[in-house]
Structure 1
Amino acid sequence: MMERLCALRRWLRGLEPRVRNHLGNSPFAHLQPWLERRALFRFQRQPLALGVAAGLFCGLIPGPLQIPGTLAVCAWLRGNVVAGAVATFYTNPLTIMPLYVVAFHLGALVMPGEQPLPAWSPEGGGFSVEAMGGWMQALGIPLLVGLPALGLTLAALGYAAVHVLWLVPALQRKRRWQKCRETLAGTDA
């Protein structure tokens, strides 16, 4: 497991020069100084954690606005745009309805009174975009309150997870070093 984390960190560090080189040879080369100041392509712990948090928060935005929203939030927070864009992919046609149900329940916890979950009742018995839109409208205010709450919760968890996963190999190296020092101190005595 630790070898995989270390390999992932090495791969991410090797990815940064390739992204910068590709960006320097693209039509967007004139934007490179602004992008560098914003750390949008840095594959270090803090920008990666901010990018993942932005992607998890913006992943709940409906439709094709998830990645542009993530890019804007990453530019504002100075997070990694690649990590942010990849993090938005946790929402897809299979996961969006369960996520919206969780968001509805979070919103219902905050709002006064009892908020019953509307039943899914598509016309014709099948799934359609219109039926999904109608169901989302029936979820109403609890959904509007719960989506930001769920987004902030997922963003905080993703931010913390990146920091923990980034530090695990360093902590293990420290433990191995201490054990080695103790072993050497025991043989000298």
Structure 2
Amino acid sequence: MKRNIVIASVAAAALVTGGTAVAVAGTQSSSPAARSASPAAASTGASLTQAADAALKAVPGTLDSIDRDHGRWEADVLGKDGKWHEVTLDANGKVIDQRVDPDDNDPEDAAEAKALRNADVSAIEAARKAAPQSTVTSVEFDGDRTPVWEVETVKNHKERDLTVDAHSGKVTQAPADDDHGDDDSDDD
């Protein structure tokens, strides 16, 4: 049963990401890489792939980030309308809120939007490349310098931060930060 869910999730992601001008070619649903986009948390709800599919169905465009936070999925989408949208989904992947992000629609974001649209590797593909044997909990595009996907993974209860080059797909270990998974709520 789980295999059928994973197969359906991967197929949906391939269709969705193909519609954003980033093709996910040759995905084999039985491979470990295909399974990596389905977080362990998905056993109690939607996988990352299913949540991404639902977010892109609600707001057609290009997925900028998706992560699971407090039992909900939160996705940022650069809509086909050129605006940044925030989509909140429940644990099962049902859209519970969507809105245009008022903070992310100024001229400074034009460079980020251009870099995201020009990425050769989609968010879901980056998740698969980064974590063939791990659970992906977050994927976020960073186009500030060299465009990369920042991918957070968990394996054997250990968190790992990786980067995936948005053009080549090369996976590297992200530089260590000093907050060790901290949410910055107690930083000065």
TM range (shorter): under 0.3
- TM-score, with length taken from structure 2: 0.26
Q: Which structure has greater helix proportion?
A: 1
Greater relative contact order (Cα < 8 A, sep 6+): 1
Q: Which structure has greater strand proportion?
A: 2
For the pair shown, the structure with the greater C-alpha radius of gyration is 1
- TM-score, with length taken from structure 1: 0.26
